Copies of this chain bind each other. A is one copy, B any other.
Amino acid sequence: MCRFLAYRGEPVFMDSVVCAPRHSLIQQSLHAEEAKVATNGDGFGLGWYGERAEPGLYRELRPAWSDENLLSLCRLVRSPVFFAHVRAATGTATMRANCHPFAYGKWMFMHNGQIGGYGQVRRRLEAMLPDTMYDARAGTTDSEIVFLLILMRIEQGEAPVEATANVLRAVKNFMQSAGVTEPLRFAAALTDGDTITAFRAACDERPPTLYVCERPDATIIASEPLDSDRSCWREIPKGAAVTVGPQGVHVEELFWSVAEAA
């Protein structure tokens, strides 16, 4: 399990969102309050959009809380759309290439959760990848495969919510075929640099936490509210997708129900 945040709004110095709040993501790297584990010290990542279509990535295998480079970068760089993620590994190695967010072309993705029995379905998932994406994998996480499978469907013409729902459905089917009893739990965010789509789903009653905060200047999606002013933070329902784009914030409830799919 991990913790993350996604920002879309007026270009701000990233430290105002990533580092400064009382319960900032850096604080959550040491003291997460609503996660299965309190410590998210298995690397971190920051991905941001600037003047180019492709995002910049800064990922490191050491914990976020002790990284001076991260503070410096967040203090100096303004961005209108950025992701930040602190990782608690669930079985794969602590290395940069396994840190979120992942980027591919203009797209960026990060994930919090797990694919139960991943070892039993990995091969079938990787077999679905087209050659270019098969070769694009840089790490060894389930999250990177899911990202690439979603992109594959987007490139085939599906919308982000539809593509993600379809990938999760396929994952769930593979898990059932393989007799996996561990759950699929999935909170994630995906963006093309303009619109952010976030997801909260699970095939049991324990989806990873996810909140959205709409302010006049910006919308923030985060695993845990960043500050004590809880009035702004609204829990994203299980099974919902939230789209944050030029047309504002839109919640689609029940974009995908594992129960129904089952």
Interface size on A, residues (CB 8 A): 45
Q: Are A58 and B41 in contact (CB under 8 A)?
A: no
Known A66-B89, A95-B96; judge A58-B73 contact (CB<8 A): yes
A134 cross-chain contacts in B, Cβ below 8 A = 122-123
Q: Are B60 and A63 in contact (CB under 8 A)?
A: no
Query: What's the minimum C-beta distance from A110 to chain B, rounded to whole angstroms?
Result: 16
A75 cross-chain contacts in B, Cβ below 8 A = 52, 54, 56
Q: Are B123 and A131 in contact (CB under 8 A)?
A: yes
Q: How far is the CA of A246 from the CA of B152 in the complex (A)?
A: 51
Q: Are A93 and B68 in contact (CB under 8 A)?
A: yes
Q: Are B41 and A56 in contact (CB under 8 A)?
A: no
B52, B76, B96: the one contacting A93 at CB < 8 Å is B96
Query: What's the minimum C-beta distance from A214 to chain B, rounded to whole angstroms?
Result: 27
**Does A261 make an interface contact (CB < 8 A)?**
no
**Does A140 make an interface contact (CB < 8 A)?**
yes
**Does A135 make an interface contact (CB < 8 A)?**
yes
Q: How far is the CA of A140 from the CA of B93 in the complex (A)?
A: 12
**Does A200 make an interface contact (CB < 8 A)?**
no
Q: How far is the CA of A54 from the CA of B134 in the complex (A)?
A: 32
Q: Are A66 and B94 in contact (CB under 8 A)?
A: yes
**Does A128 make an interface contact (CB < 8 A)?**
no
Name which residue of chain B comes closest to A89, CB basis: B66
Known A77-B77, A93-B138, A138-B93; judge A69-B41 contact (CB<8 A): no
Q: Are B138 and A137 in contact (CB under 8 A)?
A: no
Q: Are A39 and B30 in contact (CB under 8 A)?
A: yes
Q: Give the top 3 A-B pairs by smallest Cβ distance, nearest first.
A: A56-B76, A66-B94, A50-B76
> Which A residues fall within an 8 A CB radius of B?
30, 38-39, 41-42, 48, 50-52, 54-63, 65-66, 68-69, 72-73, 75-78, 89, 93-97, 119, 122-123, 131, 134-135, 137-140
